[in-house]
Structure formats: C-alpha cells, structure tokens
Amino acid sequence: MRVYVVDDDECITNSVRFLLTTLKMECRTFSSGDEFLEAVSSLPPGCIILDVSLGKMNGIEVQEELRRLGINWPIVFFTGDCSVPLIVKAIQNGAVEFVVKPSTEKDILTALHKASVSLAAAA
C-alpha cells in the first residue's frame, strides 16, 4: 500500500512513516498542503493521511483542491481538532475516516485499511 502523509508536525510524520515502513508500506511525507499539491500530479495513486491544521492552507482546502484537480484518492483526516462541523465538512467532501490525535497504531491502521478498500474499489 502507498500512503502519503501530509502534516506539518515532524514528530507525527516521522512516527507514522516509521509505523508504515515497519509494516512494509510505502510512505512519503509532506510538511505542507502546498508541498503535497505541487507533487501530486507526478505521484502514483495512494491513500492520504491529511492533517487539518497545516498553517497557510488547511487540510479541508487541500481536500477541496484535490477534488478540483480530479484526484479522488481516499483521505484519512488526522488531527487534534475534532469539532463536529469540521468532521462533517471533511466527510461531506469524501473523507473515508477521521482519526483524532493522539491515536493508537490500531486507529491509524484501521483507517488506512478502510482507505485502501476505497482505493481498490476506485481502480
């Protein structure tokens, strides 16, 4: 499975990358939404773990830009902000899961499994 982690917290990206590579998953990290959007057209399809709070461009804006570009890869939102309106917006925009930080490895892997099923169905 290929996973793109978009989070401006280096500790989070390093932890998630370590977990996923230990499980033999391909993982690439991005420290901002802008950085990910600049690279996305050259990337093979995969699942996205996307933080909501990214600084200049938030995760919902990244999700909306991906949809505008016609990139419908499954998104798992990963955030410390668990407001109901935010969750509703993310799900309405097509997110497959919403994982609240701090979370367990099981939470992340369960969400990624759901995302991988969605990616396989879209292929």
Average pLDDT, the chain: 92
DSSP string, 23-89: TT-EEEEESSHHHHHHHGGGSPP-EEEE-S--SSS-HHHHHHHHHHTT----EEEEES---HHHHHH
> What pLDDT sits at residue 88?
86
Kindly report the pTM of this predicted structure: 0.94
> What pLDDT sits at residue 115?
94
Instruction: Evaluate if residue 123 carries a pLDDT over 80.
Output: no
pLDDT band at 13 (very low <50, low <70, confident <90, very high): very high
Superfamily of domain 2-122: Response regulator (3.40.50.2300)
